[in-house]
Structure 1
Amino acid sequence: MTLDHTHDAMLRSWVKEANGHPDFPIQNLPLGVFSPEGGAQRAGVAIGDHILDLTGLLGTDLLQGEAARAAEAAGGGALNALLALGAGPRRALRARLSELLREGAPERDRVAALLHEAAACTLHLPARIGDYTDFYVGIHHAENIGKQFRPDQPLLPNYKHVPIGYHGRASSIRPSGIPVRRPRGQSKAPDAGMPSFGPSSRLDLELELGVWIGPGNDLGTSIPIGEAQDHVAGYCLLNDWSARDIQAWEYQPLGPFLSKNFASTISPWIVTPEALSPFRIAQPPRSEGDPRPLSYLLDEADQSRGAFDLRLDVLLSTPGLREAGLPPHRISASNARHMYWTVAQMVTHHTSGGCNLQPGDLLGTGTISGPDRDACGSLVEATLGGREPLRLASGEERRFLEDGDEIILQARGVREGFAQIGFGECRAVILGAVA
């Protein structure tokens, strides 16, 4: 995860709006799949407010060697084959794209012909997601939830020994901008004698990072902690929507089911490990008395550079706010540094029993909340289970999400001496349940 000329804060692009862009300057260059108006799906790279047609670029003589190999693997409307190649070709492609898009590049006119305005394009899932696993590595979220049910022991005994996770539903993952339908399911109020079936009344969000898997491992093998980062192809934002009332009734003894499988929303761009190199930090030290990770989960290099300093925000837009012309309400300002386990530890533990990961698999970190009330990554935390509603500038109140509400997640890396980069928005509006 070394720094090179592609991270230079002084590097500028001839795509003028990319310079100082909050998400997609030339120092980012995330990968995705898009379709221009009336066109087929194709691979692309975000630069400013435009998308560079990577598939079209492959048809020129501007890509050679490993960079061309990477672009060729990105064909077919999904990036799985590119993710499978690993870091070498991906880095070569990044380096060549940086050359082609930098200010003064002699190839400017040829490349400019392959740019599309992002606002006129449709963004798709960047890869075919074979499997999705959601972890629970946000310790402040785990403590906040635990306190509502077990004030004297908010964390279960295994939490600080093992990265907790469960297998989610890949088929219902959608890219940013696709509305989410309120789920129906079975729930039981504490004072009710019998459960009932109907629309969820406690619909919630979850602020997470998504981890895209690159090269996988064979069934029956495992990925050592020192090699785990080689199997990570990139990152995105993830909102793992949750129906808290359905979840409370169904989660024992096997965990969430209908309360989670109805929808998850991701930001559509894969932000590469290379782009995030300036924002890597040491894993925060564990509290005094916390157990040392078992040896298969412990690597000194991972502890020194395996965490991220990324600003994570949750915004809520309601019908009332929009009608009044008011900006979205900020629910949370958190940071990726609040993960108790690193991404490498997640990957290693996932495969430690012989499970085979595959290119395009998606891992969720679990909700990333901070230690303060204004850094809660879910409404069930921010409103103390609905007991203390959010009060909005429009005069509205929110305990949980209502139909017409829209949630926007944002993530940005900000560090002195480096260009700011972001993930793009992860947003969706809530639609009413189908009768």
Structure 2
Amino acid sequence: MRLPQEIITAKRDGAKLAAADIRQMVAGLTDGGISEGQAAAFAMAIFFSGMDAEERVAMTLAMRDSGTVLDWSDLPGPALDKHSTGGVGDTVSLPLAAAVAACGGHVPMISGRGLGHTGGTLDKLDAVPGYLTQPGLELFRKVVREAGCAIIGQTADLAPADRRLYAIRDVTGTVETIPLLTSSILSKKLAAGLHGLAMDVKFGSGAFLPPLEKARELAAALVSVANGAGLPTTALLTDMDEPLASAAGNGLEVAYALDHLTGRRREPRFHEVTVALAAQMLLLGKLAATIEEATAKIEATFASGAAAERFARMVVALGGPADLLERPQAHLAAAPLVRPVLPERAGIVTKIDTRAVGLAVVALGGGRTRPQDAIDHAVGIVELAGIGDSVGPDRPLGIVHARDEAGFSAAQARLRAAYRLGDVPVERGPLIIPVTEASQP
């Protein structure tokens, strides 16, 4: 066993760390054996010197093993999940989990809260009265088995080393390094005991890593490390140069997802990404032999109402209202001020700063600027215009749901600044770019 400072120095100088060294550092993160300063120095050494494929796998496995590792081998079907790197209007997890469950998969989805301009699945579900986002493990297992899906928050005993290292990375400028991103994301998914994982890696103005090549690099690293750690994984790159849905804001996105599940409204872009990721999950779980078969099965769950039924079953089992899908307006909080934001001139939307749209929601109170901040689940923006849409006096940039006049004014200014208008129609780029297929063990 080496001293922590020796391991830090070796990585600082570009050396490859042995798996034993990595396990020692992760154990110190978990039990307090290494100090805050040493943890920060370790993260910075990795930031500048990187990690090769073997080191990334070792780091991910060590962080997985820092706490409880769930076992779903008693399920009658595969345990499958999807993870998104985050965006605006990305509430895909809600209809996706239910659709996969309706096809015979089991989705024990452990989700996070919002970060920066991106919304968190857990914050959205907190908008549902009574819904338990932090159930005990026994209830979590029961709901996954009986409803086929359960979307909850990370428990204290899953990958605790990641929780400590992430907090340190967040305040030391070392978040955006691919070795630590991959180990952070995948350690939690491996601890969840999955049999297959579909990754949704965002690129574009609203993504965590906007450049396409950076997103491609992260996606390839996630697939490589996950498969190297024994978790069959695929990845899709999806466009976040505009909000994925026309709604952004916690309760408003839940209402949007409910409309999608029930068929009251299904927007093509959101539906395409949802179906594509769900189909990947069916392939990983061997619930379909081809992508065409998997796609048809997912589409059928939406058309028949089977996905809606699974979602309703999950909500009730976790304490939510039985008539949420039929009467969302009776349960989701409503903002007192609802008003359109008109553009300063008529034109065609040619470009959107999607990150700025997300920050407009944060300015309304729908996100956090500090971890301890409370979230207003009623606020947000709906009917967001997309690239290529004509806007003007009869078509707003979006409709703001605000708590007060000050909130509306702040959101209006941010929303207008986020949109660029022209007079000539533009073509959208590709919505989905496949990365690679999982190796099949």
Query: TM-score, structure 1 length as denominator?
Result: 0.25
More strand by share: 1
More helix by share: 2
